[in-house]
A and B are shown apart, each in its own frame.
Chain A
Amino acid sequence: MTPPDAGDWPPADGPLDEADLEILAGIRDLFQAADPMPDDLPERIRFSLALRDLEIEVARLAAEEDQQLLAVRGPEQSRTITFDSDSLTIMIRIDQNRDGTARVDGWLAPPQCREIELKTTGGALDAASDSQGRFAFASVPQGTAQLIVRPAEQGAGGSGRSVVTPALIL
């Protein structure tokens, strides 16, 4: 498709000039004001990148469901989140404890025994999944947390890499 004759306007195949750069700077300022990145995002990303090794398998957020339980039991909230990586599906359910901490129940599919770390801003919590793939963290401080499923034992057919989720806000 040939663009219509643009008359005297600068041509699309011309080199970038000062006016172009000024316009781009203007666009940048506008979008910075209209839709700024959340201030704490780089920090959350830095938290999730603080890992023991760089060779990891990334588990993507695949589904998230918030369930505001009915008033019968007070304003309790339960969230179910599913992550998918190449080799694993991780599903977790987050419930609020009365003392302000959170309880995290998780399932690995396919089911398997793995060491699992929940990294929080207050340090790392450790658990292990059973042969059904179940694991639990009974009391997790509120805040940012990230799940790391440690590599399966050598020779168990595992990829030898940790499976890592994005950081969540509990």
Chain B
Amino acid sequence: MSVENCKPATVPGSRPGAPDGPDRAARIASLMTAAADGSEEALGQIVTELTPLLWQVARAAGLTPADAEDVLQTVWLRLLSHLDGIRSPSSLTAWLVITTKREAWRVRGTGRRNVPADQDWLAALPDQGPGSEDQVIVDDQRRALWAAIGRLDQRCQELLRIIAFVPRPDYAAVAAKLGMRPGSVGPTRGRCLAKLRALLAGGPEGSLA
């Protein structure tokens, strides 16, 4: 089998937030260099890779879908003038996440459109499609997870929603930007995930409020 030109256009496991090996960092780094040199294609691939994460960041900040779309465009446009100064894939992800949060605050601050006071996404558990026997177990787990997330405070809901979409190697950089204390050896679980695990394990509700 020829390995010529076998650099995959889409890397296996490049699902948003999917854990990715060191390959990803190298691939994103070379895309960043090419993008800073003016390659629209390279920049486009970065957009495709990271926009699903930024969508969740904008929606978790309480933006309507229309506002989220506008804010994400602003964020990516702003990146153009910053590409030169961003050195690593982790700092790129962190810059994009924090800039999306700031732009979202800005929009909420101006109140230029109606922003729902409550998070609407928690209204219903998303459909899962036709169920099999295995599906019932999975479904129970999903239901339990959904319910537990709903019992966290808003800040934790927002944080976990964001972190869940962050590529694993970028986790520490993003967590630090979001105000989570990094551990001495690596990313820690953090208050929100610890709380969620206690809830899932049937922890005493009262003490977790």
Contacts and interface: CB of A to CB of B under 8 A. Distances in A.
B165 A62 contact: no
B189 A30 contact: no
Contacts of A9: 194, 197-198, 201, 203
Nearest to A54: B80
B189 A15 contact: yes
A11 B194 contact: yes
A30 B188 contact: no
Contacts of B127: 33
Given A15-B187, A54-B80, A167 B161 contact: no
A33 to B, nearest CB: 4
Interface stretch (B20-28, B87-95, B139-147): B139-147
A27 to B, nearest CB: 4
8 contacts: A7-B203, A23-B145, A28-B164, A37-B52, A46-B40, A48-B73, A49-B80, A61-B70
Contacts of A149: none
A28 B165 contact: yes
Q: Is the interface of A mostly helix, strand, loop or mixed?
A: mixed
Interface of A: 3-7, 9-17, 19-21, 23-38, 41-42, 44-46, 48-51, 54-56, 58, 60-64, 164, 166-167
B31 interface: no
Interface of B: 16-17, 19, 36, 38, 40, 43-44, 47-48, 51-52, 55-56, 59, 65, 69-70, 72-74, 76-78, 80-81, 83, 103, 106, 110, 112-113, 121, 124-128, 141-142, 145-146, 149, 160-161, 163-165, 168, 171, 181, 183, 185-191, 193-198, 200-201, 203, 207-208
B163 A50 contact: no
Contact of B51 (A6, A45, A64): A45
A51 B80 contact: yes
B5 to A, nearest CB: 23
Given A30-B145, A49-B47, 8 more contacts: A12-B190, A15-B188, A16-B193, A23-B193, A24-B17, A25-B17, A45-B72, A49-B40
A26 B142 contact: yes
A60 B188 contact: no
Contact of A27 (B73, B76, B161, B198): B161
Contacts of B106: 60
A63 to B, nearest CB: 5
Nearest to B190: A12
A35 B196 contact: no
A46 to B, nearest CB: 5
B189 A62 contact: no
A33 B128 contact: yes
A23 B127 CA distance: 19
Given A3-B191, A4-B207, A27 B149 contact: yes
A62 B112 contact: yes
Nearest to B106: A60
Contacts of A56: 77, 80-81
